[in-house]
């Protein structure tokens, strides 16, 4: 399914991969968002947030172009809850789902907030490992994957020496070795930045326009690591 060039893009997004969860909706560039602390988040709060952001914009669930969710990598529980909510909502009204990398969402947030053009987003994956990827682009052209989302050993991992990037997310501060391994490549940083449903909306619009959305049944998390730790 692709978007009519004359129709305003409408979407609901759910992001629960990291410490701060969020729900957002949009009519093109007009957005509404609610944020929640993930560790104490209850499912009923998600659905309450969904109703609130849709009401803010005067949208009906069945009239949306698609539903987006941060598919990971990230906290296993958050990914499962986000996927289940996206599946249930999309299946109930028969609309497609955009599976968006939570690391890409974090990178898009860095681009939006800091105006950078190459970002290495990173989460703490626990067990002495980190989730990391690299994305380039801007808010008008979208993001391109430079290094695919992966699970790394912070002590051993090194990006290509000719790659300069903005370090985003709490994974960088959780593992000082990551910083030590890239002393000349990091051009800036924001270790407090978390993925946001607001940034999922833009990435979801690209997927929808390119016909890359999936059915509710195919809206599965991307854990990267199979062993559940949190």
**Comparing 10-101+195-218 with 103-190, is the CATH topology the same?**
yes
pLDDT at 228: 47
pLDDT at 138: 81
Q: 10-residue block means of pLDDT along the chain (230 residues)?
A: 69 95 96 87 87 98 98 94 97 98 98 97 97 90 93 98 98 98 98 97 96 98 72
Report domain 10-101+195-218's class. Answer: alpha beta
Q: What are phi and psi of 135, to 5 degrees?
A: -135, 145
pLDDT at 4: 56
pLDDT at 38: 76
Superfamily of domain 103-190: ATPase, nucleotide binding domain (3.30.420.40)
**CA atoms of 130 and 150, how far apart (whole Å):** 8
Domain ranges of the chain: 10-101+195-218, 103-190
CB atoms within 10 A of CB 122: 27
């Amino acid at each position: 399914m692709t978007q009519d060039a004359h129709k305003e893009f409408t979407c609901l997004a759910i992001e629960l991969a990291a410490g701060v969860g969020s729900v957002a909706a949009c009519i093109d560039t007009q957005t509404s968002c609610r944020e929640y602390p993930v560790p104490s988040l209850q499912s009923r709060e998600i659905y309450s947030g969904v109703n609130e952001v849709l009401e803010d914009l005067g949208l009906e669930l069945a009239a949306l172009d698609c539903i987006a969710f941060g598919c990971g990598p990230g906290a296993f529980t958050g990914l499962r809850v986000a996927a289940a909510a996206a599946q249930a909502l999309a299946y109930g009204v028969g609309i497609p789902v955009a599976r968006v990398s939570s690391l890409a969402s974090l990178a898009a947030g860095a681009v939006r907030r800091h105006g950078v053009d190459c970002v290495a987003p990173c989460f703490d994956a626990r067990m002495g490992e980190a989730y990391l990827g690299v994305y380039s682009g801007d808010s008008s052209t979208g993001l391109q994957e430079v290094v695919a989302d992966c699970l790394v050993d912070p002590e051993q991992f090194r990006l290509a020496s000719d790659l300069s990037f903005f370090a985003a997310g709490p994974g960088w501060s959780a593992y000082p070795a990551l910083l030590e391994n890239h002393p000349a490549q990091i051009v800036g940083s924001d270790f407090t930045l978390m993925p946001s449903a607001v940034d999922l909306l833009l990435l979801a619009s690209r997927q929808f326009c390119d016909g890359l959305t999936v059915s509710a049944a195919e809206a599965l998390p991307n854990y990267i690591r199979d062993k559940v730790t949190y």
